Amino acid sequence: MKFVAVTACPTGIAHTYMAAEALEEEAKKRGHEIAVETQGSAGSEKVNDSQISGAVGVIYAVDTNVDGRERFSHLPSVEVTPGEAINHAARVLDRAEKAVEEGVSEEPAETAASGRGGGGAAAAATGGGGGDGPGRSSKTGMVRQWLMTGVSYMLPFVTAGGILIALAFLVGDTVEVVNEDVYEQFSFGALFFKIGSTAFQMIGPILGGFIAYAMADRPGIAPGIVAGLLANDNGAGFLGAIIGGLLAGAVVLGLKRVPFPASLRSLLPVLFYPLIATFVVGTIMILVVGEPIAAATDALTSWLEGMGTANAIVLGVILGLMMAFDMGGPVNKVAYFFGVGLVAESVYAPMAAVMAAGMTPPLGLALATVVRKRLFNVQEQEAGKAAWVMGASFITEGAIPFAAADPIRVIPALMAGSAVAGGLSMAFDATLQAPHGGIFVFPLVGNPFLYVLAIAIGTVVTAVSVILLKEFRSAQDETADTTDETTEAARA
């Protein structure tokens, strides 16, 4: 059989490409051909028309919207999360083969509900194993997909803005770069700050606009962006942008159900939908949503800025546990985007804790494969070499091959190390204004030496925990083997 597949995740860095590799390997084992389109952060590596025309089915391994979905509309399809494709590629191919044999698609309910043809939001994932928890309802999956789409478009603005603002503080006086008018009194610090702060001003509008886009296609973009701008204006921040984006998408979807005259059909997406939706959503944002959300955002920011060391450590431990729990899955992403959202509110310590906790799982496993080689097979030892690089680059997914092979022992060990790293990062008052980058953004870290110490200690805790748990398993296996031999001898 010949398949095409599309893989995509919100950050477009690790899961997108790991899912593609897993599907390719499983298809090769079965003698199938598969062409995978990775819609990652570097852009799409598109499958061509001849590959699509020769395919008998399509597999979507996505956690965000699919660009150009209409190209595959004639093919039987299966839709899963990237985590399920990574951890259960065989199961995914089984479902794809079944869909082809039956000539039908596993059509997610929300695709129809969203009213989108192509390029729409990816459908909610079916329950999966590994990094993407089982049993999600379709409605929960829908909302998560919409949010992840908004975040995936927002993230480059956070990255660019955060790094440029950090560079401004590195090359200029902290007070002066904020107050200087770069047009009146040029300096590189003021230049970096102006560009970075402008990028930060776009976080809310882009988040709101593309949440609405994921829900309602292009007519949702304008009201969603306006909602994000109003959230900036009234102090509602990224929480207000999320609510505004969801409101904008919902209003446009509602308008699409209104039976307008056929003569107005060509004007609906360019005039009536954006005009009416922008007015309605803008009014709600100003009169209803703005002040309560602004108050909630201010309260959260004040609490985070004013909490004592003990509370900070607890928060760091919780974020660390979440980061290591499913390594790129829903729980991990909640912690990650919590940190990213606070960067947009100029609260930088949680982001540092999140990155420290996300680096330690692959680094700890890499260290364990060096210290106790005999506990790992050849494939895991090779994966350990790659895990050094992935951990240093803040790609937590480098730990997935180990966790998938031995989850009962590996995942608790990873959570222990990440909890220590996150807690120590908060205790050391480390800060980070960039939402990604690993060692490459260490120059931007506040209290960098203590931050490196937190990561190092977390890495050692992870490695020691993994080794102890695997040694305990080995001892149990040896005891069981000895018991079996004794039993056989007695029978003889």
Active site residues: 9
Alpha-carbon distance of 95 to 343, in angstroms, equals: 41
Nearest one of 5, 13, 15, 2 to 328, comparing CA atoms: 15
Which DSSP category does 258 fall into? S
Tokens for 332, please give them: 């991990």
DSSP H helical segments within 202-272, as ranges?
203-216, 221-234, 237-256
Residue showing tokens 């060692």: 439
* Closest to 93 in 3D by CA, of 61, 130, 138: 61
Name 259's Cβ contacts closer than 8 Å, sequence gap at least 6: none
Two structure tokens written together for 365: 């496993």
Structure tokens at 127: 């329950």
Q: How many alpha carbons fall within 13 Å on the CB side of residue 181?
A: 2
Question: Quick check: helix, strand or coil at residue 367?
Answer: helix
d(CA 222, CA 212): 9
Query: Tokens standing for 35?
Result: 């062409």
DSSP 64: S
Closest to 390 (Cα-Cα) out of 419, 417, 358, 421 = 358
Q: Which residue, among 315, 476, 329, has the nearest Cα to 409 in the 3D structure?
A: 476
